[in-house]
A and B are shown apart, each in its own frame.
Chain A
């Protein structure tokens, strides 16, 4: 108590003196009409301290880049995977070697077989007129065209072929590509860019998938050949989407699916496309020259006017018995591709003899529409004869020239399924001299449809060929699949 009192007195005295010092000069100061008090100075000091703290940089631990020695060590330690995986036992790469033209009858490994492995739908392989026109072209132009279309690689037969195909289909213009599969994977990125919407069937083949991937657009898949799924997908994508006016929207379908033999219902697709304002890209590789009264493709088959389909692409390596591809549509569509389609601009043009073969093939089709009736009766006959094959069932459309046979009940794993089918195909070739093939899949292909045996029917097959095939298949599948 007695020590506290003088301390209290001393502090009180100090306080009084400090407040006097503070208040004295400013006691009666009035700056700009504001009465200055001591507490304002304290507040000012506090604000200064806050501002000072805020202006300082926050503490970050310093970044140390790797030294040269550390990078050397990392590079020495790193071990890459081998460039290709080791060869698996039992993986076969040998394919039968043909020693003559791939027509309905051909020579494989030295003996004559009936050929159901070539997509020679109109039987044009070995046609005299086509071979004569090719010989004329070879003598005049040589084999290759030695340049891309923009740099003296445009030969007059290319321009003739383009106008012939446009006339045949009834479209304003068409453009030729130098290889079948490069057509679709160059057309899709030329029109679809980042931000566009594409609705595609999940069963499209690898070239279409590659084109969709390269286009960097948003891709939505719908169930294979299921129009209800397509309608609901389109509804979901366009409902409430106000920006849909500015975005380009496409539906990508194939006319005859290579992976299953189904035919796309074009009239339904066109109705949906007009309702939701989408454009249609139709891949017609296997239906050009096959479907329709005069072979003009899926649009003629369904009676849809050709102007409603925005872009038609097709490879010519099937019905037309030549190579290359084309894309057909309005003048705007075709002209746009001449500068922005990479497979057209950056690649050498189609060899001229293949273009003249295409022209002769289309001429032949126009003059002999009866060949289509032959093809159709062959397909119908094959369906009838194979309808009771033990263990296998036909899963393709009745009009499709690709007849797809798959196992009645799968063994559970795709590899064993494939082994069984390949055993069947081998036995049919070795024992009965009928050449058939299974569908093959690359591991880059994301299509999940089941594999099977694919039979390519041609207008050049005779009834006896088809009977031979069906009896052989029935016999072999009965023996191979009897255990399953």
Chain B
């Protein structure tokens, strides 16, 4: 829950108002100057009219150097960020060949499989030599290799469902599955903070979409009762089916879903549940099996479990795990299975090897160590940040922790100062978050060592003081681990 102090809210609104006013002033002068130049559009309507790209031109371009920073090494715990310069106030950025080694607090590398791994990489290279980089064919035609079948079985057993189906991209998994499951005459109830891929899939399906308040099972029950009693809009016929879509970990809040309550509400009203575990599979739970394991929910109670391989397994692609009938139906109708190139075989091998490491089937206990490490790291980091006085969102055990910034000027200040001190953070603003609630999002990895985390905390604390985001300072009696360490030294 975000506790926004009143003064901060007022100053944030004032800042945005000022930026908006300046933007309009510049647009006004631009219109006057351009009125004299002949237009080179020759009768075509412009690609963006009026205020459609106002935010991009006047607000985003000012701080463009905080986003899209290129790197030249693997996104591991430390990586090389390319330095860029601009000659025209950030409108265009140019690469240089200089790089700086920075601590990586932004990439989704929860279990540390991002860089070359001693078990996974030799096997991936072997599969590359055997199957080559792509099958150039759709899965339903000639793109089905032995690796794909093996991975589907492995994912199904890992997650705890009877069967699974693979796709080459996580975003496409959501956008193409939801239309195959529910169409016109059905109802989709989704959490208000769901990811863009789910929103696109819901829109593309043609079903009616309703939203319930974020993580609020009581409101979900209210919406369900209202909708079942009311029926379809205008005709009032009963709904054909109702699907409730929630996520395991919400990537902008770092919160876990209240899964047991949501499942009990859905069972009571006979709605189907769809769980998107993009960020939680592999990263939470004692053996990495995701939010079901952590919260003690039986996987058989969730109708459809979706996940991606990008975050915890260091690869690309997505999967859906469900009962045999549903997977059979999807293989016959899902467009992503019938029309899209099948997943690249080396990427499939990477996931197979990563799952084997997690389960301990490679003969070592690296998997268990990684899972314990990420849990320890996340809890330590979150506690320290809270002790320092930052406003940190998210639940315990979740490796995603947003630090609230609020004010638009603090976004580039925080980002650039941290980079100057060799810590790379990710800052997120509108439209990925609500306008007033800009934040910096930290993603912890199992490959961060304790020293890395302490260095990160030092830098963030210094920059936080400089920028002024310690909104809830604590009393002086509580000393932090950093100061304790300094005292010992």
Contacts and interface: CB of A to CB of B under 8 A. Distances in A.
Contacts of B203: 214
Nearest to A106: B142
Contact of B180 (A153, A178, A247, A444): A444
A22 interface: no
A181 B303 CA distance: 27
B426 interface: yes
B339 interface: yes
Interface string B340-358: 1100101100100000000
Contact of B270 (A78, A321, A340, A435): A78
Given A96-B142, A138-B116, A102 B426 contact: no
A146 B109 contact: yes
A210 interface: yes
Interface string B118-147: 001100110011111111111111111110
Contacts of A158: 70
A134 B124 CA distance: 11
A297 interface: no
B335 interface: yes
Given A80-B270, A342-B200, A125 B136 contact: yes
A82 B182 CA distance: 11
Contact of B229 (A66, A81, A95, A140): A66
A353 to B, nearest CB: 7
B241 A81 contact: yes
Contacts of A91: 328, 332
Contacts of A185: 175
B129 A131 contact: yes
Contacts of A406: none
A433 interface: no
Interface stretch (A44-52, A111-119, A388-396, A475-483): A111-119
A146 B228 contact: no
B171 interface: yes
Interface string B89-105: 00000010000000010
Report the contact-size class of chain B (Cβ under 8 Å from the partner).
35 or more
Contact of B181 (A84, A315, A322): A84
Contacts of A440: 138, 140-141, 338
Contact of A443 (B44, B104, B229, B333): B333
Contact of A346 (B73, B115, B195, B333): B195
A144 B314 contact: yes
A74 B239 CA distance: 12
A182 B171 contact: yes
Contacts of B304: 83
A354 interface: yes
Given A99-B145, A353-B346, A339 B133 contact: no
A206 B340 CA distance: 10
Contact of A140 (B73, B143, B145, B238): B73
B86 interface: no
Given A152-B426, A323-B168, A342-B196, A71 B229 contact: yes
Interface string A71-97: 100110011111111110001010111
Given A182-B169, A444-B333, A139 B116 contact: yes
B241 A151 contact: no
B106 A152 contact: yes
A348 B72 CA distance: 17
Contacts of B180: 442, 444
Contact of B73 (A115, A138, A141, A245): A141
B88 interface: no
Contacts of A340: 53, 56
Interface of A: 66, 70-71, 74-75, 78-87, 91, 93, 95-103, 115, 117-120, 125-126, 130-131, 134-135, 138-147, 149-156, 158-159, 178-182, 185, 191, 193, 205-207, 210, 213-214, 245-249, 277, 279, 315, 317-318, 321-323, 332-333, 336, 338-340, 342-343, 345-348, 350-351, 353-354, 357, 435, 437, 440-445, 456
Given A81-B240, A147-B108, A277-B42, 16 more contacts: A75-B269, A84-B328, A93-B328, A118-B137, A125-B132, A125-B133, A138-B116, A140-B73, A141-B115, A142-B114, A156-B82, A179-B172, A214-B200, A245-B45, A249-B45, A354-B133
The 7 tightest CB contacts between A and B, nearest first, are A117-B142, A317-B341, A84-B329, A179-B169, A347-B171, A93-B331, A101-B132
